[in-house]
Amino acid sequence: MRGLDEHRAAARALGAPLPAVEVDLLDAQGLVLAADVVTDSALPRWDNSAMDGYAVRAADVAAARPDEPVALRVVADLAAGSSATPQVLPGTAARIMTGAPLPPGADAVVPVELTGAGAASHADDVCARDEPAPAWADDAPVLVRQAVAPGAHVRRAGEDAAAGDVVLRAGTLTGSAVVGAAASLGRATLVVHRRPRIAVVATGDELVPPGTPLRHGQIPDSNSWLLAAAVSDAGADVLRLGPTSDDPVALRLLLAALDAGEHGQVDGIVTSGGVSVGAYDVVKAALADEPGVEFVRVAVQPGKPQGLGRLPGGTPVWTLPGNPVSVAASFEVFVRPALLRMRGLTDVERPRVRAVAAGAWRTPPGRAQVMPARRAAPSALAEPAAHAGPAALSALTGLAASYDPRVPVQPASARGSGSHLVARLAAAHGFAIIPADVDEVRVGDTLEVFWT
């Protein structure tokens, strides 16, 4: 029987990053950068004002005080976007708006709130006001009421990024901040990994589309819908097919058509059902002669029967069991990380935390358990979490977990991790991972959990 970590690694390895494409900025939203983004010039590109106010020579206003303002002659009016370059000489100032380039000669900005308007001979009258009005009047000197140091309220060229800096790294998920940063660098396009398109195939003669009247022995197909939603949540596009019948020849033809691109670009296939040892295990029968596909038993519950590999055309395929909880757990542990790798991400595991067991249950001998779990109220703990039981040991090696004893968890269903308990799966907030060498979870044990 294959170990959980070994099969996780094999499943994840099928998800190689997809080729890079160049797309418009907004089309890059939700995709992953395939190349670094480097600045062509400094950012900001020039010294500019951080405030609405007056560009001055700091030495000219060094003696300014509220009761003894300094009067400066206004020589220019600079709005953001202005290309004017007036010289600020001793005894002068330039009106300036936030973002406007600092004019030659100026080395500081006085915020408008620290100024007033009027002739120097009227300074005492202006200063006598309780709240002097800001100085925006034309054809009047500006009265500066407070000294400023050189560099005050000035955004220096290159303080955000220097020319040649790597601002955005390959492997970064493109969100609004990335789009904004790229636009600020003058980029109209980004090079990203294209979004994978994944085919989902649910098998079983017993399955019918939801909403279809049921005959005795039939059940609604939930697997293809569950998987389609999970694939979409993982950031991939979905081609949902099924349910399909338990006819190996028909399934083989469908998989071959997907592999050949007859249904459009398909970067991976996920099937559910037909991988165990029953007489009608259609997926095993359909792929029995494919040398690139293997079927194994994995030391995990639920989800022991698994298959994976590549079809002749190179398309990855993950074949999951048919019970819905097995489908959900298998997708999370085996398939989702591979799809994130296809997107170009390197951090492909959900964060793990350690929480406290608010209930007790038995676990399958010799197999790790992936238990659908939900957060419980703190009062659910029947006894204090006074010890870290054996379940604190990680079943998934190399994954860091933070300990938070304030979060009690318990199985999402009173019947535990039964692979058919799909209705109660909706109550789960995530999965608890119990190592294979643990026979029993006790109240107060610390558990490794990932939230979904």
CB 162 within 8 A of CB 131: no
Mean pLDDT of 327-349: 97
In this predicted structure, which of 119-123, 274-278, 293-297 has the lowest mean pLDDT? 119-123
What residues contact 365, with CB distance under 8 A and at least 6 apart?
A: 439
Residue 30, by phi and psi: left (phi above 0), alpha (psi -120 to 50) or beta? left
Q: Where exactly are the structural domains of the chain?
A: 4-17+195-342, 20-44+159-193, 48-155, 352-451
Q: What separation in angstroms does the CA of 77 have from each of 87, 94, 99, 108, 332?
A: 12, 6, 13, 16, 60
Query: What is the pLDDT at residue 140?
Result: 78
Measure the CA–CA gap between 282 and 349, rounded to whole angstroms: 31
Instruction: State the average pLDDT over residues 165-190.
Output: 96
Q: Which of 48, 86, 51, 54 is closest to 70 using CA atoms?
A: 54
Least confidently predicted of 19-28, 110-119, 332-341: 110-119
Which of 37-41, 194-198, 411-415 has the least mean pLDDT? 411-415
Side-chain half-sphere CA neighbours of 52 within 13 A? 6
> In CATH, what is the architecture of 48-155?
Beta Complex (2.170)
Domain 352-451 in CATH: superfamily? MoeA, C-terminal, domain IV (2.40.340.10)
From the list 448, 318, 351, 349, the residue with the least C-alpha distance to 391 is: 448
Mean pLDDT, range 128-142, rounded to an integer: 57
| 8 A C-beta contact, residue 70 and residue 45 | no
- Residues contacting residue 104 through CB under 8 Å, at least 6 positions apart: 85, 86, 87, 88
Region 269-274: mean pLDDT is 96
User: Is pLDDT of 276 > 90?
Assistant: no
- Asked whether the domain spanning 48-155 has the same topology as the one spanning 20-44+159-193, the reply is no
Q: Are 393 and 435 in contact (CB under 8 A)?
A: yes
Q: Which CATH architecture has domain 4-17+195-342?
A: 3-Layer(aba) Sandwich (3.40)
Confidence band of 131 (pLDDT split at 50, 70, 90): very low
The whole-model pTM stands at 0.83
Residues linked to residue 357 through DSSP beta bridges, in sequence order: 409
Q: Which helix (H) or strand (E) covers residue 144, if one does?
A: strand 142-144
Domain at 20-44+159-193: CATH architecture:
Alpha-Beta Complex (3.90)
- Predicted confidence (pLDDT) at residue 135 exceeds the cutoff of 70: no
Q: What is the pLDDT of residues 83-119, one digit of tens each?
A: 999 999 999 999 999 999 999 999 999 999 999 876 4
Tokens 């703190």: give the residue.
378
- At residue 398, the pLDDT reads 43
Query: Where do the H-state alpha helices sit in 151-288?
Result: 176-184, 223-233, 248-259, 282-286
Report the run of H or E that residue 75 belongs to, with start and end: strand 70-78
